[in-house]
Structure 1
Amino acid sequence: MTASSGTPRPKLPRRALDGVLLLDKPVGLSSNDALIRAKRLFLAKKAGHTGTLDPLASGLLPLCFGEATKFSQDLLEADKTYEATMRLGIRTATGDAEGEVIATRDVHCDEADVRRALENFRGEIVQVPPMYSALKRDGKPLYEYARAGRVVEREGRRVTIHALELIACALPDVTFRVTCSKGTYVRTLAEDIGEALGCGAHLVALRRTGVGVLTLEHAVTLDALSDAPEATRDAWLQPVDALLSTFAAVHLNAVATKRFLHGQQLRLDELTLDDALTDTTEASRVRVYGDDGRLLGVANARDGVLAPERLVVTAAS
């Protein structure tokens, strides 16, 4: 309310906004809170994030606005890259620095031991999800059982560690970089490495540096956005197809554009294709552009046919 009249301050109108914001989330803020702040700064009508980062973690959090939210699932499925620091010799209830200490052990390993241990965690591994996680059992998140002091049985899940390298070893702290598949818990990875070293461990720092092909290189902080003039903030937005850069591209002429936007299938031999799209006997998802160069949406290409999958509404207007 204003001090003079006591009347509510008028709400600024929200606007339709399409694009992707590469946000460098700070430690101590939940992904949802970060989304709310960014949405407010851009006065956006519709926004969503592409997978959560714990408050303890910092780094890349891609935020989708407007039509980009239709493709956020692709980033949820994408590989992620993190830089993490674990502390050997101490186990906590949550597997990270936020949990209470539940066990301590002496650390007798050296850097060579750490390097050998990391070798055993590359490739496909099995992880047991932590109790302090949002996975559900009988409709209830596991963390609710954990907070009530209950431990429930969890099945191991196969995940893939594509790359795992040692960055620094200043025992008892070990810093590593990991690129992993969807569903990997880095704090569980740290705990398991600690157990392999015979001393236990917990995560003390985590920073996400990559999601799919997106990196921190073009990311911006909330502080920088807040300090920037309102008229310049849109310059930080990536186009919607930043989420689809790994897909081959198909370019349509004016007639094919109209047909595609009406949901009609098209013959691939009549279209302009990327060199990457040479074998269409198996299904392949592609990004489709209209005669004016705008993104129309995503389609499936198979057996010589292009079938619309998801359209970008603004491209049809």
Structure 2
Amino acid sequence: MKLPGPRGTASAAVIDLLAGRASGLPQSLVPDDDEDLHLALFVTYELAYRGWDGVDDAWEWDPGLLGGRRDLEARFLDDLYALAGRPEPVEPAELPHRLIELARSDDGPSLSKYLRGRATYDQFRDFVRHRSVYHLREADPHTFAIPRLAGRPKAALIEIQIDEYGGGVAPRMHQELFKQTMRWFRLDLTYGAYVETVGAPTLANNNVMSLFGLHRRRRGALIGHLAAYEMTSTAPNRNYGNGLRRLGGDATATAFYDEHVEADAVHEQIAAYDLAGGFAAAEPELAGDVLFGARCALALDNRWAASLLAEWRSGS
């Protein structure tokens, strides 16, 4: 993946450093706006995934770059606290029910219903383009939690992730199934091809997973994020599949969404009780972090959906 163009002073500083055009970062890395913040964060986080073309892998653990990332993460965390509230203590035994209540009470804009019944081919294609930033590495951020868990929650997470990775069969991996949908829309299948063309709300959805996944102390929030995803995805994926069929998509094109309808119906219970509930029982002091991570997942996704619908309404 090629380094993108900058969107402000912070992202320019990070990109110039990695491209060899600068010898260091400013003493304090202050982003100009959300676009600058989330591109800069995404660029630094990607070093922990597949990296950037022509950029030395050693940058992943460079102290100066990590210091700059810390400044950016502090800004992002402030935004998350404003959007989803701060973590608060939760009785571990109550956590699964609190997660179920949170999922049921989610009243964000229904992007999936719009895609099911009203979206044009170009709008659905745009949706797939945005989602490709995550789906081409689907499950990878949450996998960081596996070595940080033990016992029941670890087994539950592995059970979920095995499905995400197609049970070890490459063509069944969800990352690969999504390529079939992209191919039907004649989109570029290259990993990260659309990072440069998506906005801050899309990058923020990806960055929050990296923020939680790359810090062991945020493992509770990462589990909550995954639980929220698994507990709220069955109906939307059914809508996506039906919307794509309405536009003429064949079984190959809809396989990604149809697979999630079946898999996530099972994952809902595993995520709420075995994963989140098991983790809260094992580490009760982090039960509030789990609920915080779930709130962040839903709030950021709702903000992204609203931004995409607004773009379509305005004809952008």
TM-score (norm: length of structure 1):
0.21
TM-score (norm: length of structure 2):
0.21
Which structure has more strand as a fraction of its residues? 1
Greater relative contact order: 1 or 2 (C-alpha under 8 angstroms, separation 6 or more)? 2
Which structure has more helix as a fraction of its residues? 2
